[in-house]
Chains A and B, each alone.
Chain A
Amino acid sequence: MTKTIIEIRGLRKDYHIGEVTVHALRGIDMKIEAGEFVAVMGASGSGKSTMLNILGCLDIPTKGDYLLDGVDISTLSKDELARLRNQKLGFVFQAYNLLPRTTALENVELPLFYDPKVKSKERMERAIKALDAVGLTDRMHHMPNQLSGGQQQRVAIARSLVNDPVMILADEPTGNLDTRTSFEIMELFQDLNERGRTIVYVTHEPDIARFATRNVVFRDGLIQRENMVTDRTFAKEVLKTLPVEIIEEFDS
């Protein structure tokens, strides 16, 4: 008995650039159940970024329905969308987007600042818990520039977890990382997914897409193909086969 988190019907998105109208999405139907781990793929210009923006409630569709956790987002105002993002979604970006000169802990706390219900004591406790979940308890008071790329992305994942979202949206989360670190991040995602977290991520690397349970491939604003991943890669096992190349310099 699974719960449907995302239900999309006949979704279209048009952009007007001067006189020209660009049809970024041309009728998408999609469903994502709770606990799924979905990789969205596609070449650039295929509409996958637009899709992710709409999934993240950063953009609204021109036409069609989008129900997120039972809420029809077309009825919501800008401020209500912001609240929805604050309470139901977690974002992970390719470039981490951590605040510079701000400790890992404070970075993770950030979403909770925008939730009026969370008091400062609870805010810190939850941030520490989230950092613990990504295995960075001992890096809590480090600044982003004192962390490696992988660690920075972990902090960003902790930040996306801190508000206990129904879904994590990741935009090319491994795009800036080397292979080994990428696998480590995917290991973390798989780990979170096993514990029930719904995750949707965008990638253009087929290798990375195979960590998911389901792949959705976009092409020219339409879903070209959708399939369950049969030969799924498990990061834990792959990492065992990879030689340990470098001891991370920040470990000392």
Chain B
Amino acid sequence: MSFSNLIRIAVRALVRNRLRAILTMLGIIIGVASVIAMLALGEGSKRSMREEMSAMGTNMIMVMPNFQRRGGVNLGSGSSMTLKISDVNTLRNEAVYVAAVSPEIRSSGGQVIYGNKNAQTSVYGASEEYLGIRKFSIKSGRVFTEAEEKSMAKVCLVGQTVVDNLFDEGTDPVGLSIRIKNIPFLIIGLLEEKGESGMGQDQDDLIIAPWTTVQRRLAAIDYINGIYASAVSEEKSDAAKAEIEEILRRTHKLKDSDENDFRIMSQSELMETLTSMMSIMTYLLGAIAAISLLVGGIGIMNIMFVSVTERTREIGLRMSIGGRSQDILKQFLVESIILSILGGVFGVILGYIIAKGAGSLMDTEAYVQTQSVVLAFAVCFVIGVFFGWYPAKKAASLNPIDALRYE
């Protein structure tokens, strides 16, 4: 039997049982649709996260002091004072792959007051390069100068959230004076809004001041809380990271057997970690959806079995008028493949609609990838063959005489 005849016979048989064919397909449709939708939504949120993270600076490298052990007790990260401003200077002078470097000093628990309003916010001490590394920009006003940095000037840059909390709407904060931990600071610049980070953190709720000012006047410490650096390019960020580690180990006079007394994280690494986490979640959701696809496949097998029994007389007739066993086998196999592929087509369409709909509800762009569509079709084909084979084999093995007399 030619292939076109085979298709025609199978299609006719399916059309004859339209309703049943559609109901059988439903399992596959739902399975494929959920796989497509899950993968598309997962991919969408992965992409939007990646975008946000690159907005935070993809070649950023962070150095934090490592946790300290005192008598076997882990005091937690940030508890040590191993990083000094001299480390920043050494990096600035020696590191080849580092484009910019800045210290970071965090002043904890500072109440910020203006007039009769007050707010709690994070105050960061940094050098002016900090803005470039962390992709902050100035909306109005100016950045502090080197002279101000040296003289521990009481000037600061504020984020939009701080402005919203402290000032009446429409007020231009530049030139106004606020009190941080009761020390008056002159606002010299307003930061451009950055919105929420990928992890839902408000990136506009901060104040940046010269590191000297924060270190001496607010935190009253002689070490720094961290170093922010940027690699010359994203590709060089691994090299820059290695270089920083090498320099810091040297300046900290660590022996080969010593552990680092600092931790280095690069944004690209962090991004990789987060991306792979998202991927795992996407695959997990996809796997759950795949189970429903499997159930759909079993549904096809079920119906094909019923169909073989119900159409025993038809099979007998087909054999008596010249259908060979393999023709019968092929017919049932093609029927089940058509069912599953057709289910796949509708499933992809439905999945696309669901992904777009859910995407706009969840405020995430859904990406239906070509590869997941191709995968869905391949899986459908395999399901059709796999779950159609056994019933088809059963049909083909019928004895024409018995099949004809079947009641």
Contact = CB atoms under 8 A, between A and B. Distances in A.
Nearest to A86: B322
B206 to A, nearest CB: 73
Nearest to B317: A97
* Interface hub of B8, B313, B325, B400 (most chain A Cβ within 10 A): B400
A224 interface: no
Contacts of B325: 78-79, 82
Interface string A81-100: 01101110001010101011
Contact of B401 (A53, A83, A85, A115): A53
A91 B317 CA distance: 9
B320 interface: yes
Contacts of B313: 95, 97
Contact of A58 (B12, B16, B17, B400): B400
B401 A114 contact: no
A86 to B, nearest CB: 2
A91 B320 contact: yes
B150 interface: no
A99 B9 CA distance: 12
B320 A85 contact: yes
A82 B12 contact: no
A59 interface: yes
Contact of A85 (B1, B2, B16, B322): B322
Contact of B16 (A91, A99, A120, A163): A99
B316 to A, nearest CB: 8
Contacts of B316: 97
Which interface class (under 10, 10 to 19, 20 to 34, 35 or more) fits A?
20 to 34
Contacts of B326: 79
Contacts of A79: 324-326
B322 A101 contact: no
* Interface hub of B17, B313, B314, B322 (most chain A Cβ within 10 A): B322
B62 interface: no
B257 interface: no
A146 interface: no
A115 B322 contact: yes
A145 interface: no
Interface string B317-348: 11111111111000000000000000000000
A56 B319 CA distance: 11
A82 B1 CA distance: 12
A102 interface: yes
A56 B320 contact: yes
* Interface hub of A95, A97, A163 (most chain B Cβ within 10 A): A97
A116 interface: yes
Contacts of B320: 56, 58, 85, 91
Given A79-B324, A85-B322, A87-B322, A113 B9 contact: yes
B404 interface: yes
A24 to B, nearest CB: 12
Nearest to B322: A86
Nearest to A85: B322
A111 interface: yes
A114 B327 contact: yes
B338 to A, nearest CB: 17
B1 A91 contact: no
Contacts of B317: 93, 97, 99, 110
Interface string A137-169: 000000000000000000000010001000000
A59 B2 CA distance: 26
A111 B16 contact: no
A77 B318 CA distance: 18
Contacts of A111: 321-322
A187 interface: no
Contacts of A114: 1, 5, 318, 321-324, 327
A77 B316 CA distance: 18
B323 A116 contact: no
Given A85-B321, A93-B404, A97-B317, A113 B8 contact: yes
B39 to A, nearest CB: 39
A79 B322 CA distance: 9
Given A114-B321, A163-B321, 7 more contacts: A79-B324, A82-B324, A83-B322, A97-B316, A113-B8, A159-B321, A163-B322
5 contacts: A58-B319, A58-B404, A82-B325, A100-B16, A114-B5
